[in-house]
Structure 1
Amino acid sequence: MLSINEIKKPIAADIDVFEGKFKTSMQSSVPLLDRITHYIVKRKGKQIRPMFVFFSASICGGINESTHRGAALVELLHTATLIHDDVVDNSYQRRGFFSINALWKNKIAVLVGDYLLSKGLLLSIKHDDFRFLKIVSEAMQQMIEGELLQVEKVRKMDIEEPVYYEVIRQKTASLIASCCECGAASAGADDATIEKMRLFGEKIGIAFQIKDDMFDFGTDDVGKPLGIDIKEKKVTLPLIYSLNNSKPDVKKQMINLVKNHNDDPKKIAQIIRFVNETGGLQYAETQMKKYQDEAFEILNTFPEGESRKGLEQLVRFTTERNK
């Protein structure tokens, strides 16, 4: 599989410009805020979401100045949600570094997340990018609804597969869908094409989250600690399949174990072993590939070229990664 740096080569110049503009978009006259945003920029991730914006614009007519603003808006929103998530989850690490709340405490972390969100909204308003505002606001609404739906289902230990798909569609896929939608809109695509790109992004997002959920039950070399979702009592696709395809007494026993593991490593290992032995991972892999194939079907309706190839490579990177 190609590295992320190899995939981004066709849009590398645009990404470089974007990085500078993204850094500028976070600037503040408050020294504390500037220190924190500098810390954020230095520890940026792979920038998968801006890449989806740029490749989507490229395949729909071309990258322009508004594409950069759309990418900045999405990345500001994404960064804000990550900061807030770390507070909610009481997490002290992000991508191997200390989280904002670990270094500056929860109150400041929440305020920084709010600040980044407001900067994104103001960036769009300043340039009359009202289509971007609509797209991103709808994504934000879905992300919040997805989070709350997941909290509700965790409490009730709801194990229905359709509910799982609805949670990840709202919680994860909506943001990737908004990246592709913003990219297409920035290039001046018609409404039908913009909707096609939104659906493309949604299917990628679902496949991405299924892949991420599989890591919880994988091997020790995936780059993500095992059993994190189990510790949080999240019922994801591999576990749902295994529970729904087990005898009633086994299903009841495993549900009780998920509810009452008390972070016991032996009990968590028992749940992971149960999922591996009952085909949960294999089933999740099949479903992930189904959504990946559906995304490719949409992508293949666009003309062949460097942009389509770049998007295909980016999809494979996000859904076939090992960490």
Structure 2
Amino acid sequence: MSDTSIIKAPIKEEMKQFEPFFKEQLKSSIPLLDIITNYVLRRKGKQMRPMLVFLSAKLNGEISEASYISATLIELLHTATLIHDDVVDETYQRRGFFSINALWKSKIAVLVGDFFLSKGLSLSLKTDQIDVLKVVSEAVTEMSEGELLQIEKSRKLDITEDVYYEIIRKKTATLIAACTKAGALSVGANGDKFKNMASFGENLGIAFQIRDDLFDYEQNGMIGKPTGNDIKEKKLTLPLIYALNNADKTEQRRILRMIRRHHKNEKKVQEIIAFVKANGGIEYANEQMETYAQKAKDTLSSYEDSDAKTALLTMVDYTLKRKK
């Protein structure tokens, strides 16, 4: 059985029922909004986040309507942030599909993202899911702070390893932790169980982001060489930070100058990638990713064996092995 089949198996029925439930929350009397919403629903990804909500709920109790509402809140938040990110980054494609701003322009994209967020707020208030709303609201705050911190540090090119972890904790791990926390809350889990799920989500999120950062340094099937997209955007990620820290001052200055002045130059980008590989950046990032993945697994050790536990452990492994 494949990893994805193991992950989906315990919540197969719930995920089947989730789709119409989620769609129902997005109904509108505005035809344009319905057209765009249907477009968004047709291009949904792996749905890792609602799966995490349901698996966390199942691990800690019986899945209820509150679990569906929690999964919907998270998915609304996630979708809204992706739409807004595409506008900010002027991205016109995502997963091989045109982005909302590419098809309907930025103003409409921003308004659609706002609509998704407001739907989440009204749903949580209507169903009295205040605890979950608090988790989601905190995640939105942290994600915004993480993005702004990364922009600030990218301008100065002074990201330390500690700052890097703070950025990815806020930008990525906080949303994945929100999934596992919301799932636990939806079945009344509290105390140590709630803390365990928060820790599991955060550590999984950090491992997930390090894996994302490593894609930049791997062979790309279409162009036959690493993309170096983060370098082109002057983002300092873990492999590069480690390599810089282990180079002498002269080499450090040379590489930083290259990033500052020549980050759009393909030849220079490949030179920086070679520098990272030669200075152990890839190995170190892989080690750290494995460490955080193990931390995530360790938080589940107090739970009895079950399909939900196996699925969550498999999701950690899948995160490390995935190819995008």
Q: Same fold (TM over 0.5)?
A: yes
Counterparts of 1:281 and 1:322 in 2: how far apart (Å)? 16
The residue number in structure 2 matching 1:21 is 21
Identity level (%): 53
Q: Is 1:89 paired with 2:99?
A: no
The residue number in structure 2 matching 1:271 is 272
The residue number in structure 2 matching 1:179 is 179
The residue number in structure 1 matching 2:110 is 110
* Contact kept? 2:218, 2:226, Cα under 8 Å: no
Offset at residue 7 of structure 1 (A): 2.2
Greater displacement, 216-225 / 241-250? 216-225
Structure 1 alignment gaps of length 5 or more = none
Offset at residue 322 of structure 1 (A): 2.2
* Contact kept? 2:219, 2:226, Cα under 8 Å: no
The residue number in structure 1 matching 2:43 is 43
- Report SS of the residue matched to 2:163: helix
* CA RMSD in angstroms, aligned pairs only: 1.5
- Count matched residues: 323
Counterparts of 2:192 and 2:43 in 1: how far apart (Å)? 37
Give the partner amino acid of 2:259. V
Give the partner amino acid of 1:52. L
Greater displacement, 217-226 / 19-28? 217-226
Counterparts of 1:68 and 1:222 in 2: how far apart (Å)? 39
Residue correspondence of structure 1 range 1-323 to structure 2 within 5 A? 2-221=2-221, 226-323=227-324
Structure 2 alignment gaps of length 5 or more = none
TM-score (norm 2): 0.97
Give the partner amino acid of 2:315. L
Offset at residue 273 of structure 1 (A): 1.2
Give the partner amino acid of 2:22. F
Greater displacement, 6-15 / 42-51? 6-15
Counterparts of 1:182 and 1:71 in 2: how far apart (Å)? 8
CA deviation digits over 1:41-99, x for unaligned, max 9?
00000000111100000000121111000000000000000000001111111111100
TM-score (norm 1): 0.97
Offset at residue 145 of structure 1 (A): 0.7
Greater displacement, 264-273 / 215-224? 215-224
Closer/same/farther in 2, CA of residues 94 and 277 from structure 1, 3 Å limit: same
Give the partner amino acid of 1:11. I
* Contact kept? 1:203, 1:295, Cα under 8 Å: yes
Counterparts of 1:222 and 1:318 in 2: how far apart (Å)? 22
Counterparts of 1:175 and 1:87 in 2: how far apart (Å)? 20
Counterparts of 2:62 and 2:314 in 1: how far apart (Å)? 19
